[in-house]
Amino acid sequence: MAKIIGRPALPNMPWQDKPQGFDKPVWRYDGNPIIKRDAIPTSNSIFNSAVVVYKDGYAGVFRCDNRGVEMDIFAGFSKDGINWEINHDPIVFEGEKDVTRKEYRYDPRVCFIEDRYYITWCNGYHGPTIGIGYTYDFKTFYQLENAFLPYNRNGVLFPRKIGGKFAMVSRPSDTGHTPFGDIFYSESPDMTYWGKHRFVFGTADGWQSKKVGPGPTPIETDEGWLMIYHGVLNSCNGFVYRFGVALLDIDRPWIVKERGNFYVFGPEEQYELTGDVPNVTFPCATLTDPETGRIAIYYGAADTVTGLAFTTVDELLSYMRKYPMNVGDQENK
């Protein structure tokens, strides 16, 4: 069995065993959705949100679109990772005025690196780009420079420096609903200046034929970086968002070692099939326990609510290997 490394044991993380007779690699929490659309007074929808271990419980950054359908990010806290208290006011960042000016903020990720929690999100700055901030306590937040020129979405940090540099995967995009999308790797000595942009992987046949983008913080294992990513199909009835897995080289993560040909999870339940945007399952965070290999995945459902699903490192890797993609075939079909 592949081992999760670099993470503390998390024996009390949210978990349910795989239901008897269930033959897919990822299964849902039976109390889904864990966060309803109106969990705070002003919200139209709460989805595509990120959680991390914090003190003796959990903290998170949540995408709450308000009833003006304006997108912003909010801090929240939980004892058990399932029941959440989300602040009623959005995060206010300290920093230079030219940087903290706000157009919109959405699809946050949170990643603990060294001594603090970094937050990345899709930040409106004359079009979407990757905003970066950090906090030590989920009360005071500091904003750094945007990572890239517009347009970009889905900036996802690696949980440690690689070759002495901070590392990020992201998905260059356009100003609209982007009918393309490949994953690129970038690195930075200081979280301000990003470069060495390397192509990681692009679209492939079927469920991931329209675009692909990074999901949760990649999980370090002794076999490589386990990356959960979203793939989009353009159906006759609009985009369909599912997710799959790939394994990236540990020291040179732009090199794809293995990649699954089948998705591991997609819209099947009512709250994933219908909502403000139907047929969307969009993963933004995981909790992991290295002792058991357990993984809890937090995902947005139909751009309306937040769901929780479970799997293990073994389930994901063995499914990927049972239905593999020829990685030589994967570049921008």
Q: Is the CB of 167 or the CB of 277 nearer to ligand BMA?
A: 277
Q: Which is nearer to ligand BMA, 13 or 297 (CB)?
A: 297
Three-state DSSP state, 125: coil
Cβ neighbours of residue 83 under 8 Å, at least 6 residues apart? 34
**Secondary structure of the chain: what % helix, strand, coil (to 5)?**
5, 45, 45
Our finding on whether 282 is near ligand BMA (CB under 6 A) is yes
In sequence order, the 6+-apart residues with CB closer than 8 A to the CB of 65 are: 43, 44, 45, 46, 71, 72, 106
The residue with its CB nearest to ligand BMA is 277
Peptide bond into 33 cis (omega under 30): yes
User: In this structure, what token pair is assigned to residue 236?
Assistant: 């006759």
Minimum Å gap between C-beta 242 and ligand BMA is 12
Choose the binding region for ligand BMA from 77-85, 164-172, 257-265, 274-282 (rule: CB under 6 A).
274-282
User: By CB under 6 A, is residue 147 in contact with ligand BMA?
Assistant: no
Select 187 or 303, whichever has its Cβ closest to ligand BMA.
303
| Least gap, CB of 58 to ligand BMA (angstroms) | 22
Nearer to ligand BMA, 228 or 277 (CB): 277
Rounded Cα distance between 15 and 46, Å, is 22
Cis-peptide into 283, omega within 30 deg:
no
Contact yes or no for 188/166 (Cβ under 8 A): yes
* Contact pattern from residue 175 through residue 214 relative to ligand BMA, giving x for each residue in contact according to CB under 6 A and a dash for the rest: --x-------------------------------------
- Is position 241 an interface residue for ligand BMA (rule: CB under 6 A)? yes
Residues that bind ligand BMA (CB under 6 A): 48, 106-107, 177, 241, 277, 280, 282, 300, 303
